[in-house]
Amino acid sequence: MTEQHSHQFERGTDGPKVIVAGVDGSDSSLRAAAYAGGLARRQHALLAVVYVQPVLAAGAALGAPVAETTDEIAEDLVAQIRDAAERLKGVFEVRWEFHTFRGDPYNGLVQAADELKADAVVVGASEQAGHRIVGSVAIRLVKAGRWPVTVVP
C-alpha cells in the first residue's frame, strides 16, 4: 500500500517572492530599501519599492506645489534607486520595481502589500517625534499581523 500526501502550498513557505520596501526619502527608509534589497537578492525575490504620495485636502494644499513636490520626491527616489542598482550591476543582481501609491503612509503600504501580494514588508523606523501618541507606521503594520514586518533603524 502506498501512502499519498496531499501537499497544500502556503504563501511564504519557500521564502518570500515579493518584498515590499516603503520609502519616503528619509535616511531610515533608504536603509530599509537597502536591507530589503539584500533580502531580495539572497531570496531571489522581487523587490517592490513603494513610495506613498501624501494626499492633502484641497484647501490645505494652497494650489498645486504640494502635488508637484511629491512627484519630484518620487522621481528623485527612482533616480537614487536606479543609480544604486547600476553601481551594483554585475556584482549583485536584484529584480526591482518602483510603485507609487497615494494616501497616508500606513494605508498606502497596506494597499501596496495587498496588491503586490507581498510576502514581507520592510520599513524604516520613524524619525518623527509624536509617534508615541499616534503610533508609527511600522507599529501599525506589525499590529495588522498580515505580513512579516522588518523595521530598520
* Domains detected in the chain: 18-151 (3.40.50.620)
| Three cell numbers written together for 105 | 503612509
CB 107 within 8 A of CB 141: no
Sheet of 149-152: strand order equals: 95-102, 46-53, 18-23, 120-124, 149-152
- Give the bridge partners for 151, in sequence order: 123
Q: Could you tell me the CA-to-CA distances from 15 to 12, 46, 85 in Å, in that order?
A: 5, 11, 22
For cell 510576502, the residue is 119
Mean pLDDT of the region 1-8 = 49
Is residue 2 over pLDDT 60? no
| Percent of the chain residues past pLDDT 70, beyond the cut | 69
pLDDT at residue number 128 = 66
Query: Poorest-confidence range of 3-12, 23-32, 68-77?
Result: 3-12
- Sign of the four-CA dihedral 136, 142, 147, 153: positive
pLDDT, position 9: 47
Pick the residue with more confidence: 83 or 12? 83
